Structure 1
């Protein structure tokens, strides 16, 4: 039985380890931290004794690799899947409205949703639907060099339609401003979301904390198949001879008995022990932050699972039943603030949308992900390395590898699957 060493226990590492385990490879997974899952995890908040996610992650019906992965680890049953796209919006003074697909054949269900969207006037609806129907026929390579905002302006999208429709998708998916994000990758993901099939635009939410959905079932499967998962073990170096890794050194062990290595750690961690001269491209990543604010209240008086904010620095609101989770993407400006400053700003903004007072809030917890995702500008997208390296038995995975997707859960899982398949089908 061939042996594979997987470095990194985030979703890319778990994905590759699961696929290899399913294909009868002996897997040892090494993770530097005491937990698996990378940037997708949950933990018990000691004050409230509530298991909370580090941040809410939306899945979508077009996430084919993620959904297949969850089926493999028997976690698909932990998902709440919309039958049709439905997004609840919050606007100032407590007003709310929906973007909701109808029970029509695809794609008329989505066109109806756009046509009936109340916050757009007739001209805005016409121009939005015109671009929407055009997207599937656009050669996205021709958008290289354009930012998202430049493309949308070129397509005569109004400031209002950009703010309440396009920007919510763009910032949520790309985690950066429309001025920085590449129009090419935005167009590509719009095709995936809206033009793949009838279910691709459906929003999917995990019904259990993230560790229970992703990490624990993955580890259970890997062990069941005879593999090992070693947490709190950090790789500090490798030895390469004849363009092949023959030794992996950690802070606890030295590994020599393996046939292949998959590195599934972030790029800034990988370049500490693998020289980037071994990659086919020389990437240079810049990162964007995500901020999550968890709020516990005396009474939870909202019924919907999630809402999108309109015209706000707050982006998404998730109703966890035990508490509320507010997500701010592209959150670099908040990273230097202390928790009290962040809470005051968020609470002041939240009161514009929801009728709450200081007395309603019992507790809050703030979680910062400073390097949550790379910024998908044109230069970065052109310099993402591929899975294969110039080292014969080394493959790389991670949402930053060239998956043709932005830094999402789907990109991470897909990269792990691709790395595993390179080994399985070329063995």
Structure 2
């Protein structure tokens, strides 16, 4: 059997390792950090196991759900499943839209008829978007920005503000005026335009490391593979038709594990690191221009701890973001609905957060707390017991129109790429990372 090395223990690398192990292939997974998960992992804050960013998945994430099952997890045990919804706090000029549990497309139609806060012209515009997109088979001849697409479909300003803009920023982490309309349509096709369950919103009940990476590592080792954390690979070296891994200066005196790695050879290597790290590893072997040309967008999550009796009416509220008045938050999650031990903990997501973090973490934390107090009409939320901001500066690539993303294949036999930035239908999401990892594993097995 081919020996395969996977460099990078994020979700793409873990997915590749699980898929190879499932096929009975000996795989070695290398992660420079002490813990797996990459940009979607557990961190410890004030004695709590939280995530480096609040995530939400979709029922359309078929590969992610399949791999959770492969490693022995029931999705109902680790994910809270909610119907597609966009629910703003009452009295703030938002809307209340929830899809009922009916077969598609009736769930969308009935949800639209029942929606509060949308005028007749807003509802007609939403129906027109769905009908026209289906007629177009969710495809554009020439990509454009999401804002241009919404103008073509005559979407109302209110519907753009309350639904399309927050959905675009949440899904693509790119503002609609700069975001790819085709990628946005791909997401809408597989959620709004598919079966009802595909549009469901899935919120992790457990930390992200426990959700998949930890179980992936156990699965790989049960199937004869090896998982090495805390070992950073600095170079990939061609060796008589095979590949060796070099840890550079860190290798000297670092123990038996590193010595074993340096002497091992592999038939294929899957580079599942970030794009800029992959460019460094592949330098001298393959073309890296498509990796170094990607721009990136940050995502920031603000965690605010209140007394345990503080509770929101529902697990998730949408928020109207307006940077001009310091309202940066776009969604607020009540973690107490997900885990009783996290009662009183709120997580506020600020996607595409470059402008929001310009004045520093303390200023943004204070602004988010003030926003919650105002829009939820609860003055006590302005004064949390503690707050912590986590900002991933390169959380995702900027998903712009016509972007040429790198292929899983590097053009060099035995060298493959995996990551949420590789070519595919989806933006930089957990599902995109998992799909890329599985695709790279399939290519390694077949090559």
* Contact 2:94/2:320 (8 A) holds in 1: no
* Contact 2:370/2:382 (8 A) holds in 1: no
1:267 is the counterpart of 2:275: yes
* d(CA) in 2 for partners of 1:172, 1:83: 16
Cα distance change on mapping 1:255 and 1:388 into 2, 3 Å: farther
1:293 is the counterpart of 2:313: no
* d(CA) in 2 for partners of 1:215, 1:311: 33
Name structure 2 gaps, 5 residues minimum: 252-257, 323-327, 337-341
1:102-131 CA distances to partner (integer Å, 9 max, x unpaired)? 343310111111232222111121121111
Alignment match, 2:330: 315
Alignment match, 1:401: 422
1:390 is the counterpart of 2:411: yes
1:380-425 CA distances to partner (integer Å, 9 max, x unpaired)? 2xx211111211011110000012210000000000000111123x
* Contact 2:87/2:95 (8 A) holds in 1: yes
1:247 is the counterpart of 2:244: yes
* Contact 1:12/1:414 (8 A) holds in 2: yes
Cα distance change on mapping 1:276 and 1:163 into 2, 3 Å: farther
Using the TM superposition, give the Cα deviation of residue 140 of structure 1 relative to its aligned residue in structure 2, in angstroms.
4.9
SS in 1 for 2:416: strand
1:162-181 CA distances to partner (integer Å, 9 max, x unpaired)? 01011111010000110110
* Contact 1:143/1:183 (8 A) holds in 2: no
SS in 1 for 2:393: strand
Alignment match, 1:186: 184
SS in 2 for 1:347: helix
What's the Cα RMSD here?
A: 2.1
- Size of the aligned set, in residue pairs, is 420
Alignment match, 1:374: 397
* d(CA) in 2 for partners of 1:409, 1:2: 27
* Contact 2:59/2:200 (8 A) holds in 1: yes
Cα distance change on mapping 1:256 and 1:408 into 2, 3 Å: same
Alignment match, 1:341: 363
Alignment match, 1:353: 375
* d(CA) in 1 for partners of 2:362, 2:103: 49
Name structure 1 gaps, 5 residues minimum: none
* d(CA) in 2 for partners of 1:225, 1:256: 19
1:33-89 CA distances to partner (integer Å, 9 max, x unpaired)? 1111011111222x3x22111111111110001100111112234333536434432
* Contact 1:90/1:353 (8 A) holds in 2: yes
1:290-336 CA distances to partner (integer Å, 9 max, x unpaired)? 01111110232213111111344211111111211111001011334
1:82 is the counterpart of 2:87: no
TM-score (norm. length: structure 2)? 0.89
After the TM superposition, which of the residue ranges 84-93 and 250-259 deviates more from structure 2? 84-93
1:340-394 CA distances to partner (integer Å, 9 max, x unpaired)? 21112212222221213367511111101100000111242xx211111211011
* Contact 2:285/2:412 (8 A) holds in 1: no
Identify the match of residue 385 of structure 2 among 359, 362, 366.
362
* Contact 1:144/1:182 (8 A) holds in 2: no
TM-score (norm. length: structure 1)? 0.93
